[in-house]
Structure 1
Amino acid sequence: MASAVLTNPGLMRTLVAYQDGFTEALRDIFFHAMYSTRVDSYGQYLYPGLPPQAAETLFLSSEAYDLRFPAHVVIVQHDLLRLEQIFRCRPYLFTTDALRCALVAGAIPIVKYLLQFDLPPGNSKERLLDLAIPHGNVLLLQQLAATGCPRGSARGVAAAAAHGNIDVVQHLHAQAHDCSLAMDAAAAHGHIELVHFLYSNDVYGSAALDNAAMHGYADVVRYLLREGYDNTSAAWTVAANDGHLDVLKLLHAHHAPHCSAAALDYAAAEGHEHVVRFLHTERDEGATTDAIDGASGNGHASIVRFLLAHRAEGWTHEALDDAAAGGHVAILRLLLERPTPAPTVRTVEKAAEHGHASALTLLLDAGVAASDRAVRLAATHGHVVCLLELWAHRRRPWSVDVWGAALRHPTALQFLAEHAPECVDLDALAAMAALPLVSARLLRNLVPGAVAVNPRQCDVDVVALFPPHTWSSVTMREAIAAGNLPLVRYLHERCHDWCCPADDSLLVAAACNNSIDVVAFLCTHCPSAQATEAVWLQAARSGSLAVVRWLHEHSCHGATAAVMDVAAEAGALDVVRFLHRHREEGCTERAMRSAIASGEWRVVQFLCHYGELGVPAERRLQGLREAMTTSCEDGNSAGATVKDILPMLPEIAVRLQELELWSQ
């Protein structure tokens, strides 16, 4: 009888029509979405063949994998055909977030397709019209409005104005949208035609003139001044800061108020000499010491020379300090020609810190004293030429603090060892983690005998310089954490008795770091390294399928049902799938409960579909009910909400029904 049904084409089509599945064309995308896609710590979805996709632009959850991902990934691929197929097979994956995703991706044909359906609300609060406005498509806006979408915000209308989409702005204005920010945005981006339209329709804005002046749009400034717009000091100051001389001339010609000394200060600091000369000649607001200070710090020697010759505001120590920090020797010479204010030790420190040896030499030759801090700063940044200048002008021996400051720079250490041996501190060098090779050689040469070295080294060349007993299991774990197989091999072969404890700690560290080469080497060559349950658990917890597979293929001991439980809790679906297919330990009810509590819906889906190996039916039923109830009532701890669970309900409902029938 069964064969007669299965071989009858008509009956077979009827049976298949009620199956919950998808077409062959969608198999790859659902497979990769299920088993290959990752959500990293930055909330980016990593999908094979695509650059990382931010959860915000996909309009999906960033805390854990969102089951709507297959639908949204074809949206960003602009694949309308596959989207239609997914919609027919999995309509519950689509919410208004799919529309938002399509609008941001610019997939307008997909937007028009989705507008045919009454989609349930998604999680995002972004207004659909705001997302549609940048496309400049009035017909699209009309279609969205016809579906009952809320009005666009003032921010959305301002975005259209900023892009100069006059047709869109005219449409939104005609539909009585909030255009209060549109004039300011249009003026800031120089859209004069749009400014005319808005002004003629009584849309004014509060900062239009300032915005146009700040961005250098002289035609907009001219129009707004003619229409009686007011400005603030920002119009003068920012126009001067950005060198918009034509705008400044317009403001000056129209007697625009609120100019201040800050205009000349900013122009000088940014190097706009033509603006400095105009303000000096045509305006009487003057300047402050900030003018020379700013020009000196930014290296504008011609402006400094002009201000020194034509203005009397002077400068402060900041001019000298910032010129030294920037290595502006010509400006330092100009300022040193004046008696006050004189340079200080801080000026020397700035030159030493930034490695400007020429500026440092100029200051030291001028008789400016160098502090101990200047020496430490040069050493900290490895400026050996500056150290040489400071050493040539030193007035007393240097302290061991200089040696400590130079620890990261072997060439500086070498210089100190040769020229200032009084500051050498071998204990500080020996305590360094990640000791540079040159520093290690220096240490070995300075102390030919035994020396205590920080065991946290991860360079096989450094390790090889010292006797085997120098190193310990700390060194081995450091090598494992870095995945440094050559160093692991060296320590095993040359320093085994000191570096390889007879327990599972090394393999646990390797499993934690997903270092499959290190795991394979230790298991194969190091008798002290023991595979235990802790190793399996760590590999599962870290989602290290390669390590789990290696342990399985080499019959390593220690696997228990807890391994799949831990993998489920961590959302390591590929590990769960591998264990389900290749191991017999199964799992406990904790696997489903933890996966639901953690919002790992792909794992939940897998366990619903393939079952929880090793868990009796009645316990599966009870555990699934309890976990779902807990998540629906209080999902804050793991981000599991009713909306997250909705796409799962069809499969979970089927699973509950199967379990109830089985338990009966």
Structure 2
Amino acid sequence: MIDVCPLPHRDGRLKPRHVQALLYSNVARQITAFQPGLHYDMRVLKGLQVPRFDSHDLLAAWMHVDAVLAPWLALHKMSRLKLLFSCLPHLKHVVAIHAAITGNVPLLKHLHSQLNVLMVTPYYVVDFAAWSGHFDALVFLLSIRHRGMSAHALSQAARHGYVQIVQFLLRHLHSRSPTAVVAAASNGHLNIVELLCPDYQDTIDDEAMDVAAAGGHLDVVKWLYNRGSRSWRALSAAAKHGHTHVMEYLLGTSHKNWGPVSMDNAASMNYLDVLRCLQNHPHVASQHRAIDAAATNGHFEAVRLLHDMKLAKASVKAMDDAASRGWLNIVAFLHEHNAAGCTLAAMDNAAAHGHLDVVKYLHKHRNEGCSTDAMDWAATRGHLDMVQFLHKHRHEGCTTDALDGAASRGHLDVVKYLHAHRSEGFTDVAIDRASLNNHPEVVEFLVTCGRGRVTSSCAIDAAVAHGNDHLVDILLTHGHHPSVNALESCAWCNDVEMFEKIYPLVEPSHARANAALEIVAYAASAGHLTLLQSAMRLGCVTTPPDLALVGAAKHGHLEVVKVLAPLYHHRPMAALDEAATCGHADVVKYLDHVAFPCTCRAMDGAATNGHLHLLKWLAAHRQEGWTTDAFDGACRNGHLNVVQWLYPQRQIDISPDALTWAVDANCLKLVEWLTLTGRTHFNVLNAMSCAAANGSLPILAHLVEVYSTWSEMDGMAVIAAAGGHLDMVKWILSNSNRRKSIEEAMKAAKHAQRPIVVSYLHTISSAETLDDQAVDDDEAEDGDEDIVDVHSDTSDGGALLEQAMELADDSSSDDGIESEYEEE
């Protein structure tokens, strides 16, 4: 019984007892607990999942989650988190990661002390805090001995320049990652490179120099060079990204073994300073067709510079491409200074793209000419001025493709000009495509020109499809006759008036009769009762096809079902099956009332789509029963309530694939229920593979815990790496034969082009020791030792330790959390 405190009216009188009961704070929650579905404010969160991280830009990957979750948290604070996690359990992992990424320490404390979320999530939350640069969140998570940290933490902190975090990880957690040097160098964080390099004096390879040069970070390049790095690729990397200052430094050193630099790339990117640098150091330049590359991309200054350098050559491609793109200055320069010339493709493509000034120049100064493609494409693309120029000044002419193309794209002015000045004419394609593309004014002009006997119905069929009654009348006047396609268009548009108008005109008669049967089936499925009756009347249909009734039942059109059902001498079983599958209870009950039969597919379909109320009704009123497809289908779609109802009935055995279907539905509650009730029935390896492929880390962790299938983890790592599921890979590698798993996972990630996974695998594979990626097990089990190993001779170690333990003490306090997120 609920104890209700009396609530007075404004005038001081007590409200009635039933009103007082409804105003009690927990009554609404108790009532809604018995209702299916979600609370209204939580619906927007239902689809949130941990995203796939495909780049080093963490915030970009998380922005879609943040856009939905952050406003909800700002509105409700932490008051509804417990209820949220009970309704949508998978969101506890999302919220935990969100708190780490946003550095929300009060939220992290609440998740740990009040909801016990942090210690059960398998995600690497510490890595996310380091990746996003939130030092306080990182220290708090480590102070509660969270195991979600890997070598990725140091690597990402170094990449993004979080010096405080790098110092902390290096000094107090003995975290090591040789690739962190490369990550820091790639973004020019010299202070972090200096911090990291003393630990890797023997492991610095040329990759750090390469990425620093590619990023234009001269100070890092100098520092690495002075420490002995001599990567021959560094010069090419700097040139590729236009960093001339880095090139000049490297070429000015005593080292001479620098790799070749592509002049073609510099020309295509218009890196003039790079080209000048290469001019001064021709021994490192490598080029194939640098002038072609510059001309193709419209870089006039680069073309001129390359010509003056005498190092690069050109081909006909240079002028052809420049003309095609309308760069007249380049065309003129190449004509005057380069002997390679061009082909007729130059004028053809210039005309096709409407570059009249280029065409005029080529016409005046070059002898290659053009082909009929020039006018054909100019007309097709609507360049009237180009068509006029080519007609007056060139002799190549055009083909029927010119007028056909102009008509198909609706260029009426070009159509009229070609009709008046050219003799090539047009084909049926012109009218047909103009009508298909809904250019009625072009169609009207062309049909009035007259072309004799009409052989195609495409034009009038298209006019009917567009609902242009006026154009249909014009085409009918000029001898166009519709086909069955026009009747189908009327059906799609539910245009009964047009359907009745053109039906008698369709030939041959047997074709329109067959079309009437198809339209009856479609109209019934779509619920168009008037169209259905018209098609049956005009087509003399007395017994509709089975598809008509089945379609109407499937889509829940009860009125149509009532019209059609009495017309069948036989009774199609599929009608009731489809109605039950789609959850149309009123149709199911009507068909049952008029004695229509069904099969076990009725209950199988209802179970698959989660229609529990209908499933119960069928069990009570029908005898057909169900098969294993019912249980499998319910699992496949994550309908836990249906599975729980079916299981006690015991009419069939549980399918060994049921667990796999539940995993594929990403329904952790259903997976937990299945492993509890039918643990020995399932194909566990398939289920684990499915979880790894989908990135369902909580589900995989649960399956491993229940079935202790550690021996299969190597294969799971490969599957997860191919899918790009970063935290899944981390978790698997922390519980498997790491060296073997890393090698196979690396191959899979590279083949599937998963750069962030490849980066992580490279990080841990290059480490000096392949240790666990979280806090050491011995330290975690020793309650008397702090995981933060602070050396007494460090100047700031005591402060860091004090901060970490202070945060830990706050997290275990019983006084709650004072912040803007304080629970209401």
Give the structure 1 partner of residue 220 of structure 2.
220
Secondary structure of 2:290 counterpart? helix
Residue of structure 2 aligned with 1:30, choices 38, 54, 57: 38
Matched, 1:467 2:514: no
Q: Name the residue aligned to 2:518.
A: 505
State the partner residue of 2:739: none
In the superposition, relative to structure 1, how do residues 165 and 503 fare at CA in structure 2: closer, same or farther (>3 Å)?
same
Q: What is the match of residue 180 of structure 2?
A: 182
Name the SS of the counterpart of 2:79 in structure 1.
Answer: helix
**Range moving further from structure 2, 328-337 or 222-231:** 222-231
| Residue in structure 2 matched with residue 57 of structure 1 by the alignment | 51
Residue 342 of structure 1: how far off its partner (Å): 1.5
Q: Is the 8 A contact 1:97 1:121 kept in 2?
A: no
2:299 matched residue in structure 1: 300
Would the aligned equivalents of 1:344 and 1:368 in 2 still touch at CA under 8 Å?
yes
Aligned to 2:502: 495
- Say whether 1:453 aligns with 2:457: yes
Q: 1:324 Cα shift? A: 1.3
Q: Which residue of 2 aligns with 1:137?
A: 134
SS of residue matched to 2:289: helix
- Other-structure match for 2:363: 364
Partners of 1:118 and 1:267 in 2: CA distance? 57
Within-5 A mapping of 1:617-632: 619=625, 624-625=646-647, 629-630=654-655, 632=657
1:416-565 to 2 correspondences below 5 Å = 416-427=418-429, 429-430=431-432, 433-447=436-450, 451=454, 452-454=456-458, 455-457=461-463, 458-461=465-468, 462-467=471-476, 470-478=481-489, 481=492, 484=493, 488=495, 491-492=498-499, 494-498=501-505, 503=516, 505-506=518-519, 508-509=521-522, 519=528, 522=531, 528=537, 534-535=547-548, 537-538=550-551, 548=556, 551-552=558-559, 556-558=563-565, 565=577
- Judge conservation of contact 1:398–1:423 (CA < 8 Å) in 2: no
CA contact (8 A) 1:76 1:107 kept: no
The Cα of 1:474 is off from its aligned counterpart by 1.5
Q: Are 1:594 and 2:588 counterparts?
A: no
Deviation of 1:105 after TM superposition, in Å, equals 8.4
Cα offset, 1:330, TM superposition: 0.5
Residue 167 of structure 1: how far off its partner (Å): 3.2
Quote the Cα distance in structure 1 between the aligned partners of 2:573 and 2:96: 43
Q: Note if 1:169 corresponds to 2:173.
A: no
Match of 2:267 in 1: 268
Report SS of the residue matched to 1:360: helix
Correspondence 1:58-73 to 2 at 5 A: none
Task: Evaluate the alpha carbon distance shift between residue 510 and residue 193 of structure 1 in structure 2; reply closer, same or farther with a 3 A threshold.
Answer: farther
User: Which residue of structure 2 lines up, in the alignment, with residue 77 of structure 1?
Assistant: 72
Q: How far off is 1:179 after superposition?
A: 2.0
Quick one: distance in 2 between partners of 1:26 and 1:188? 56
Taking the aligned partners of 1:639 and 1:102, their CA distance within structure 2 comes to 27
DSSP 3-state at the match of 1:185: helix
1:351 shift after superposition? 1.9
How far apart are the structure 2 equivalents of 1:553 and 1:584? 16
CA RMSD of aligned residues (A): 5.1
* CA shift for structure 1 position 218: 2.6
**Normalising to structure 2: TM-score of the pair?**
0.59
Residue 336 of structure 1 deviates from its aligned partner by 0.6
CA distance in 2, matches of 1:540, 1:171: 67
> Against the structure 1 CA distance between its residues 292 and 257, is the aligned structure 2 distance closer, same or farther, given a 3 Å change threshold?
same
Is 2:129–2:135's contact at 8 Å kept on the other side of the alignment? no
CA gap 1:506/1:303 in 2 versus in 1, 3 angstroms: same
Amino acid at match of 2:670: I
Report the CA distance shift for 1:538/1:208 in structure 2 as closer, same or farther (over 3 A). farther
CA distance in 1, matches of 2:132, 2:430: 62
Deviation per residue, 1:43-94 (Å, 9 max, x gap): xxxx9768x95756399xxxxxxxxxxxx9878833543331244x558667
Partner Cα separation in structure 2 for residue 651 and residue 568 of structure 1: 30
1:366-407 Cα distance to aligned partner (Å, 9 max, x none)? 222212444444455444444344434543553345455555
Distance 1:553 1:121 in 2: 57
Distance 1:207 1:538, change over 3 A: farther
Contact 2:600 2:626 in 1 (8 A): yes
Instruction: Summarize the Cα distance change of 1:538–1:415 in structure 2 as closer, same or farther, 3 Å threshold.
Output: farther
Q: Quickly say closer, same or farther: Cα 1:563–1:93, change in 2 above 3 A.
A: farther
Q: Secondary structure at the match of 2:284?
A: coil
Aligned partner of residue 195 in structure 1, secondary structure: helix
CA separation of 1:525/1:281 partners in 2, compared to 1, >3 Å: closer, same or farther?
Answer: same
Query: How has the CA–CA distance of structure 1 residues 617 and 505 changed in structure 2, closer, same or farther, with 3 Å as cutoff?
Result: closer
Partner Cα distance (1:31, 1:98) in 2:
18
The one-letter amino acid paired with 1:290 is: R
TM-aligned CA deviation for residue 588 of structure 1: 6.2
Count matched residues.
588
If asked which structure has higher relative contact order (CA below 8 Å, sep 6+), I would say 2
Unaligned residue ranges in structure 2 (runs of 5+): 1-16, 22-26, 54-66, 507-511, 567-571, 631-645, 679-824
Q: Deviations over 1:400-436 (max 9, x none)?
A: 4545555532325444433333252225643774453
Q: CA deviation at 1:252?
A: 2.7
User: Which residue is equivalent to 1:4?
Assistant: none
- Paired residue for 1:566? 578
Q: TM-score normalized by structure 1?
A: 0.71
Residue 400 of structure 1 contacts residue 422 of structure 1 at CA under 8 Å; is this kept in 2? Answer: yes
Alpha-carbon distance in structure 2 between the residues aligned to 1:227 and 1:220: 11
Q: Following the alignment from structure 2 to structure 1, what is the Cα–Cα distance between the partners of residues 379 and 559?
A: 53
Equivalences for residues 304-315 of structure 1 within 5 A? 304-315=303-314
Match of 2:325 in 1: 326
Deviation at 1:532, TM superposition (A): 8.0
* Structure 1 residues 337 and 86, CA gap change in structure 2 (3 angstroms): closer
Q: Pick closer, same or farther for the CA change 1:258–1:346 going to 2, 3 Å.
A: farther
Instruction: In structure 1, give the amino acid aligned to 2:131.
Output: P
1:104 Cα shift? Answer: 6.9
Q: Distance in 1 between matches of 2:580 and 2:160?
A: 48
Alignment correspondent of 1:657: none
How far the C-alpha of 1:363 sits from its partner, in A, is 1.7
Deviations 1:550-594 (A, max 9, x none): x5499654599856743665xx6xx54776899976986434423
**Counterpart in the other structure of 2:777:** none
Structure 1 position 230 matched with structure 2 position 239: no
Question: Using the alignment, how far apart are the partners of 1:94 and 1:358 within structure 2?
Answer: 62
The offset of 1:253, in angstroms, is 2.9
Q: 3-state SS of the aligned residue for 1:630? A: coil
Going from structure 1 to structure 2, the CA distance change for 1:447 and 1:149 (only over 3 Å counts) comes to farther
- For the residue of structure 1 that corresponds to 2:604, the secondary structure is helix
CA distance in 1, matches of 2:328, 2:249: 38
- Name the residue aligned to 1:62: none
Taking only the aligned residue pairs, the percentage that are identical comes to 22
Residue 200 to residue 634, structure 1, CA distance change in 2 (3 Å): closer
Deviation at 1:335, TM superposition (A): 0.5
- Whole-angstrom CA distance in 2 between matches of 1:428 and 1:638: 55
Between the aligned partners of 1:84 and 1:435, the Cα distance in structure 2 is: 57
